[in-house]
A = this chain, B = another copy of it.
Amino acid sequence: MEKKVISEAVIKRLPKYYRQLRLLSEQGQAKVSSHALAQMLGITASQVRQDFCNFGGFGQQGYGYDVEKLKGELGAILGLTKEYAMIIVGAGNIGRALAGYQGFGKYGFRVKALFDAAPASDRVGELPLYSMDRLESYLRAETIDMAVIATPKQVAQQVADRLTELGVTMIWNFAPIDLTVQPGVVIENISMSESLLVLSYRANENKD
């Protein structure tokens, strides 16, 4: 397939479509129109069709989309046809919360272990918790696709460097700092403090 540049806005809508399709599938719905999908996402039907055009269109709009087929095609585009083994670096509040959260398992993401500079115990729930000293030997022995960085911001870049040198190619960063990674490594940042400040901005913007 010829490579197309997909816009950021379209990429960010893909999970929203997928989430809706999962829901429709659970509800046993067989078909969905671009109008109905558009309404669920709060966008226009023409935007839905335009988005899908980036990926070949997914079948005839006149008859609506087949829910199972569309869910499967979007899932494949999102890389959800396989399992991902992940580790969590940083066993503070956020690292522990993510370890305990079951919600990502349905997409195929499995937490295998946690690491911490000063582990307070040797397990977090069912999962092993190791000292950071063991990161290198663990990553040489195990096949790990992805790492969550949930460390303090001061050490986050150094942790990212260690992880990528050991072959981790997917990083999900919860530390409040923008990290630099080498080509071939993908990174997504969840910046909670930025989101909080945007909320605070919006609460005040009409009050001048």
- Tell whether, in the assembled complex, residue B12 and residue A198 are in contact, meaning their CB atoms are under 8 Å apart: yes
Interface size for A (C-beta < 8 A) is 53
Is A114 among interface residues, defined by CB-CB distance under 8 A? no
Chain A window 179-208, contacts with chain B (Cβ cutoff 8 Å), 1 for yes, 0 for no: 000000011101111111111111111001
Enumerate 17 A-B pairs (CB-CB under 8 Å) in ascending A order. A6-B205, A11-B201, A14-B201, A15-B191, A15-B193, A18-B197, A42-B178, A77-B204, A78-B197, A78-B200, A78-B201, A93-B96, A94-B101, A96-B97, A109-B196, A146-B203, A188-B195
Complex-state Cα separation, A186 to B204, whole angstroms: 10
Copies held by the complex: 2
Tell me if A196 and B172 are in contact (CB < 8 A): yes
| A104: nearest chain-B partner, CB-CB | B196
List chain A positions with a Cβ less than 8 A from chain B: 1, 6, 11-12, 14-16, 18-19, 42, 77-80, 84, 93-94, 96-98, 100-101, 103-104, 107, 109, 145-146, 169-170, 172, 176, 178, 186-188, 190-205, 208
